[in-house]
């Protein structure tokens, strides 16, 4: 078995993207909260649909790392159905190591639906009840990248924490999903404290810290840092991202692109996984932060979270062509 540099752990899903034609978006005045509205009890025409197997935060991260040249693997569960087979085939095509994948008899593979309107999407989710046991590591990965899991997996998180305690040489990157944030900090205290690299968006940071003050990036970074992570990154959509390594506060802008986004799914996964991949490849944090927005920029020009992911050569070409304004600055 090849030495794995980057082992992603989380759920894997299949997703059809349904491009809506007739819908309306309504936003609350003065609040960052919008809803999509369609006719009730009607037949609504859609533009087209695109089917995406083998996606999800952790699967996206594994594919991202593999395209960037790392030996990347994934620990996730699929059912013994055709969707599970498609996921396994897709991972193999992307050169993601499937040694730690589990096919569970009698279960259905996770299947979500993406309602895509303009450049945004709403995802209808349902996570299957898999057994969730920690992998028996045949060799020790340099990084474990933990992200979204189903809402009944607290015991699995505790077993993962024990696994990490047994292997202090493994660096943990944590990109929490909805359930992981809903558990609260105390429940996952051991993982926060063990974390080498933590990333979320500013709304998620506010949720984790229990604060409505989202316009103070330093405060959010310090708040998360106090929970244990050595490196904290908080993204802020089109405004860029902020980072703190325990001594230096940094800001990285979006990579400049005159094109508007075509479809935004996976932009956050691309950013987070690319920064971790760069760190795994030995890049300093300041340079790793410049890698992330480039992959995000590329991903939002394609449908889904993986089509636009770049190879290392492609990414470095964008970096070499970047304007002088594309630099990491002190915050």
What is residue 129's DSSP assignment? -
Q: What is the mean pLDDT of the chain?
A: 95
The whole-number average pLDDT for the span 297-325 is 96
Tokens encoding 62:
């594994």
Q: In the predicted model, is pLDDT for residue 202 greater than 90?
A: yes
How high is the pLDDT of residue 118?
86
How high is the pLDDT of residue 22?
86
Q: Match 């325990």 to its residue by tokens.
A: 246
**3-class secondary structure, 269:** helix
The whole-number average pLDDT for the span 130-150 is 95
Residue in 251, 293, 252 with CA at minimum distance from that of residue 272: 293
The whole-number average pLDDT for the span 275-279 is 98
Domains and CATH numbers, the chain: 6-21+47-330 (3.40.1190.20)
Q: In the predicted model, is pLDDT for residue 120 greater than 90?
A: no
Q: In the predicted model, is pLDDT for residue 29 greater than 90?
A: no
Residue in 312, 277, 310 with CA at minimum distance from that of residue 6: 277
Q: In the predicted model, is pLDDT for residue 263 greater than 90?
A: no
Inter-helix orientation angle 285-299/267-280, to 10°: 150
Q: pLDDT per residue over 60-98, tens digit each?
A: 999 999 999 999 999 999 999 999 999 999 999 999 999
Q: In the predicted model, is pLDDT for residue 1 greater than 70?
A: no
From 117-121, 146-150, 313-317, the region with the lowest mean pLDDT: 117-121
């Amino acid at each position: 078995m090849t030495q794995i540099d980057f082992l992603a752990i989380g759920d894997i899903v299949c997703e059809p993207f349904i491009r809506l034609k007739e819908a309306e978006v309504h936003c609350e005045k003065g609040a960052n909260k919008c809803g999509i509205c369609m006719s009730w009890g009607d037949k609504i025409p859609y533009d087209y649909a695109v089917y995406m197997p083998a996606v999800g935060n952790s699967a996206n991260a594994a594919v991202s790392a593999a395209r960037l040249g790392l030996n990347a693997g994934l620990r996730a569960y699929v059912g013994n159905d055709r969707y599970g087979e498609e996921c396994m085939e897709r991972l193999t095509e992307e050169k993601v190591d499937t040694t730690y994948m589990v096919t569970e008899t009698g279960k259905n593979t996770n299947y979500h639906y993406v309602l895509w309107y303009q450049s945004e999407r709403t995802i209808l989710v349902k996570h299957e009840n898999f057994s969730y046991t920690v992998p028996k590591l045949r060799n020790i990965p340099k990084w474990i990248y933990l992200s979204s899991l189903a809402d009944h997996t607290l015991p699995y998180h505790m077993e993962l924490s024990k696994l990490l305690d047994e292997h202090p040489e493994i660096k943990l990157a944590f990109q929490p999903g909805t359930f992981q944030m809903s558990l609260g900090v105390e429940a996952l205290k051991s993982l926060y404290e063990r974390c080498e690299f933590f990333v979320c968006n500013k709304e998620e940071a506010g949720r984790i810290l229990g604060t409505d003050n989202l316009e103070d990036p330093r405060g959010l970074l310090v708040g998360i840092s106090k929970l244990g992570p050595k490196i904290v990154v908080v993204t802020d959509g089109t405004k860029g991202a902020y980072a703190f390594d325990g001594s230096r506060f940094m800001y990285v802008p979006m990579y400049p692109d005159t094109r508007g986004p075509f479809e935004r799914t996976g932009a956050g996964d691309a950013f987070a996984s690319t920064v971790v991949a760069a760190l795994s490849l030995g890049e300093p944090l300041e340079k790793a932060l410049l890698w992330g927005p480039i992959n995000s920029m590329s991903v939002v020009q394609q449908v889904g979270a993986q089509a636009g992911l770049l190879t290392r050569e492609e990414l470095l070409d964008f970096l070499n062509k970047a304007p002088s304004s594309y630099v990491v600055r002190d915050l």
